[in-house]
């Protein structure tokens, strides 16, 4: 039977009810993000959420720079550094590391950079 047949009983109601629940869950999560800045589903794997937020945020920040910290010398250098750190953060999420220490080294580099540049993340 054609899977697109609306009269089919096979998984028809089950799939529809799952989609309805999914829709309302997403509305709930959208409201939570508006009210408090994050949703229940975001804190399920909070490190994943923060890595995604930070890497995408740095890229967006780099796309629309209007200034730079004096220590970087130019807007171009600051942009390169922002993108480099964003890429390192993405690496933490998608790459498999040969040595467990590689993950820790990258994580520590990002956190050190964040500590050193936290007050420069303004536009």
Burial code of 23-45, b = ≥16 C-beta within 10 A, e = fewer?
A: eeeeeeeeeeeeeeeebeebeee
Model-level pTM? 0.74
Query: Same domain, yes or no, for 57 and 91?
Result: yes
Higher pLDDT, 16 or 8: 16
User: Does the structure show a pLDDT above 70 at 8?
Assistant: no
> Do the domain assignments include residue 2?
no
Handedness of CA 37, 42, 43, 45 (dihedral sign): negative
CA distance 60 to 108: 23
Query: Same domain, yes or no, for 49 and 37?
Result: no
Query: Same domain, yes or no, for 55 and 115?
Result: yes
∠101-81-74 over CA atoms, to 5°? 155
29-43, 44-58, 89-103, 105-119: segment of lowest average pLDDT: 89-103
CA distance 12 to 86: 43
> Do the domain assignments include residue 1?
no
Query: Same domain, yes or no, for 115 and 73?
Result: yes
By residue range, what is the domain housing residue 33?
Answer: 10-41
Query: Same domain, yes or no, for 27 and 69?
Result: no
User: Mind listing the pLDDT tens digit for each residue in 38-83?
Assistant: 899 888 889 999 999 999 999 999 999 999 999 999 999 999 999 9
- State the average pLDDT over residues 89-102: 84
User: Does the structure show a pLDDT above 70 at 14?
Assistant: no
The domain total for the chain is: 2
Query: Same domain, yes or no, for 18 and 67?
Result: no
Contact 118, 56 (CB under 8 A): no
Higher pLDDT, 17 or 91: 91
| pLDDT value of residue 12 | 57
> Do the domain assignments include residue 50?
yes
Percent of the chain residues topping a pLDDT of 70: 87
User: Does the structure show a pLDDT above 80 at 5?
Assistant: no
């Amino acid at each position: 039977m054609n899977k697109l047949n609306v009269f089919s009983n096979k998984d028809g109601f089950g799939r529809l009810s799952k989609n309805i629940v999914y829709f309302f869950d997403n509305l709930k999560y959208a409201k939570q993000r508006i009210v408090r800045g994050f949703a229940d589903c975001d804190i399920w794997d909070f490190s994943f959420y923060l890595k995604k937020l930070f890497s995408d945020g740095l890229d967006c920040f780099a796309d629309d720079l209007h200034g730079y910290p004096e220590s970087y010398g130019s807007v171009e250098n600051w942009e390169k550094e922002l993108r480099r750190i964003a890429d390192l953060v993405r690496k933490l999420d998608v790459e498999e590391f040969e040595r467990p220490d590689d993950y820790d080294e990258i994580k520590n580099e990002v956190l050190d950079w964040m500590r050193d540049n936290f007050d420069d993340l303004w536009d």
